[in-house]
Amino acid sequence: MTRTSTLTPTADNAADTTRVAVSTVIFTLRRTSGAETPTVALPLVRRTRDPHEGQWALPGGWLDASEGLDAAASRTLGETTGLAPSYLEQLYAFGAVDRSPTRVISIVYWALIRPDEVPDESVENVQWFDAASLPRLAFDHNEIVDYALWRLRNKVGYSRIAHGLLADEFTLAELREVYESILQRRLDPANFRRQVENSGTLIPTDRFRTGSHRPARLYRYNQDVELADRGPLGGRH
């Protein structure tokens, strides 16, 4: 009871057998042909080696000794999928003993990317899946995605992360569609408009989206307002 922490190597520490990986759950919205509302989708990488060869897994890789965790998440995501997210935040550290044959601690991030930033030609071994209907993934990655979805749905209620899924200018209907897709329920257009207008986070522009019926005013996000309050850790992305 009196042993003190030393933060220096000791015989019983896990340095030689435990490795640190970084993975990212990155969401976008996808308009499935013919469907009225877009659905939440994410890219997965087919594993080319054991363990779980052939199964789909979250994009990620090993932490490099010379990079921070955020940087590792960005790098491994880019290397595996070619994507560079508009929003990136740490999700959770997963470290159950039996989650992999060898001991692996996974620092998992979650991210958002705008549909227009997703390349049309898919990268080798990468495929996009609807979050609602995933296959059995490698390791504990199903559990991880579930948790990331829960965080996404929670956070959309009290922050402005929806921005991360939209282009710079958008109509209120487009913004509402993002919320409806994530929350999986319809929102009253009139009330949605007032809520978001009174929040002070939107700036109306002079431009309109035309093409169908009455033109809709385009809005921009107020850059002065942070996407999400992350407390003392700040908003570094």
Q: Which part of the chain contacts a second copy (CB under 8 A), choosing from 19-27, 35-43, 129-137, 208-216?
A: 19-27
> Toward a second copy, which CB reaches closer, 185 or 236?
236
Q: Report how far residue 210's alpha carbon sits from residue 154's, in angstroms, rounded to the nearest whole number.
A: 33
Q: Residue 119: which of a second copy, DNA, none does it interact with, CB under 5 to 8 A by kind?
A: none
> Where in 54-93 is the site for a second copy (CB under 8 A)?
57, 59-69, 72, 76, 78-80, 82, 90, 92-93
d(CA 144, CA 39): 19
Please say which residue, 125 or 205, places its beta carbon nearer to a second copy.
125
The two structure tokens encoding residue 194? 């007032």
Token pair, residue 225, equals 């307002």
Compute how many other C-beta atoms are within 10 angstroms of the C-beta atom of residue 9: 9
x/- map, 119-158, a second copy, by CB under 8 A: ----xxx-------------x---x--xx--xx--x----
Tell the smallest beta-carbon distance from residue 156 to DNA (Å).
13
**170 phi and psi angles, rounded to 5 deg:** -160, 155
Task: Choose from DNA, a second copy, none: what does 136 bind? Cβ within 5-8 Å by kind.
Answer: none
Least CB distance to DNA at residue 147 (A) = 25
- If we measure between CA atoms, which residue out of 25, 139, 37, 122 comes closest to residue 81? 122
Rule CB under 7 A: is residue 215 a binding residue for DNA?
Answer: yes
First to last CA, the chain: 42
Single residue of 5, 8, 33, 191 touching DNA by CB under 7 A: 191
Backbone angles phi, psi at 104, to 5 degrees: -130, 125
Residues forming a β-bridge with 19: 104
Of residues 189, 200, 226, 235, which one binds DNA by CB under 7 A? 189
Regarding 185 and contact with DNA (CB under 7 A), the answer is no
Q: For 106, what's the count of Cα atoms within 13 Å in the CB-facing half-sphere?
A: 25
Residue closer to DNA, measured from CB, 71 or 173: 173
Query: How far apart (Å, rounded) are the C-alpha atoms in residues 121 and 102?
Result: 34
DSSP bridge partners of 30: 39
**201 contributes a contact to a second copy by CB under 8 A:** no
Q: Is 9 in the site for a second copy (CB under 8 A)?
A: yes
Q: How far apart are CA 102 and CA 90, in angstroms?
A: 23
- Residues of this chain that interact with DNA (CB under 7 A) are 171-173, 188-191, 193-195, 198, 208, 210-217
